[in-house]
């Protein structure tokens, strides 16, 4: 997967300017303690999250996630939580519980309200077919979370 060529199109460049891609790029750069990503474009930083059909075929069906993949999953949910905070001005906390085999759950909690709940399976294959799908999934989670917070504001403010 590491040897796959990085190809960004004009459409991808537009998607990379979206709030969610900017936020997840920021989150991934924040956990880069060795400055590996210094000087890299957002497209190159986010490239491992893009699993085309060809890339997905290279990953075994059964496998344990490595630490880098787990960090990407955490960065994804940290991005969701961060954008929820920006939109609602309430603290959002991501909680991820994973087994060593890559199964578990992810939550984002605001106050006493669970605003995002996702069952995680096959985390070693975590990724999205395109930058557009990455943005779509992230924006959908953030949008639903904001709706829940508005509907149950009293619980979210506890």
pLDDT at 85: 97
Q: Taking a C-beta distance cutoff of 8 angstroms, is the pair 28, 46 a contact?
A: yes
The SS3 of residue 36 is coil
The packing angle between helices 19-30 and 131-151, to 10°, is: 100
pLDDT at 1: 43
pLDDT at 105: 97
Structural domain total, the chain: 1
Q: Is residue 82 in some structural domain?
A: yes
Q: Is residue 59 in some structural domain?
A: yes
Q: Taking a C-beta distance cutoff of 8 angstroms, is the pair 28, 75 a contact?
A: yes
Q: Is residue 105 in some structural domain?
A: yes
**What backbone torsions phi and psi does residue 30 show, to the nearest 5 degrees?**
-65, -30
Domain containing residue 20:
10-156
Q: Is residue 119 in some structural domain?
A: yes
| Length of the chain counted residue by residue | 158
Q: Is residue 68 in some structural domain?
A: yes
| DSSP code of residue 119 | E
Q: Is residue 4 in some structural domain?
A: no
The SS3 of residue 102 is coil
The SS3 of residue 146 is helix
Judge residue 92's burial from the number of C-beta atoms within 10 Å of its C-beta, 0-12 exposed, 13-18 middle, 19 or more buried.
buried
Which CATH number belongs to the domain containing residue 131 in this structure? 1.10.3100.20
Are β-strands 104-110 and 113-120 bridged in parallel, bridged antiparallel, or unpaired? Answer: antiparallel
pLDDT at 10: 58
Q: Is residue 2 in some structural domain?
A: no
**pLDDT, tens digit only, all 158 positions of the chain:** 444 445 455 567 889 999 999 999 999 999 999 999 999 999 999 999 999 899 989 988 888 999 999 999 999 999 999 999 999 999 999 999 999 999 999 999 999 999 999 999 999 999 999 999 999 999 999 999 999 999 999 999 98
Q: Is residue 3 in some structural domain?
A: no
pLDDT at 4: 47
- Identify which of 53, 34, 105, 116 has the alpha carbon closest to the alpha carbon of residue 81: 116
* E strand or H helix at 59: none
């Amino acid at each position: 997967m590491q040897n796959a060529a990085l190809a960004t199109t004009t459409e991808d460049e537009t998607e990379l300017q979206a709030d969610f891609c900017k936020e997840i790029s920021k989150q991934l750069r924040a956990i880069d303690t060795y400055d590996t990503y210094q000087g890299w474009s957002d497209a190159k930083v986010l490239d491992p999250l893009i699993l085309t059909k060809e890339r997905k075929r290279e990953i075994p069906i059964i496998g344990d996630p490595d630490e880098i993949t787990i960090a990407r999953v955490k960065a994804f949910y940290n991005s969701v939580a961060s954008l929820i905070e920006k939109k609602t001005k309430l603290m959002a906390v991501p909680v991820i519980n994973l087994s060593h085999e890559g199964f578990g759950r992810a939550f984002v909690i605001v106050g006493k309200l669970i605003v995002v709940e996702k069952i995680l399976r096959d985390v070693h294959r975590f990724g999205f077919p395109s930058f557009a799908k990455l943005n779509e999934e992230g924006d959908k989670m953030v949008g639903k979370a904001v709706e829940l917070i508005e509907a149950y504001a009293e619980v979210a403010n506890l």
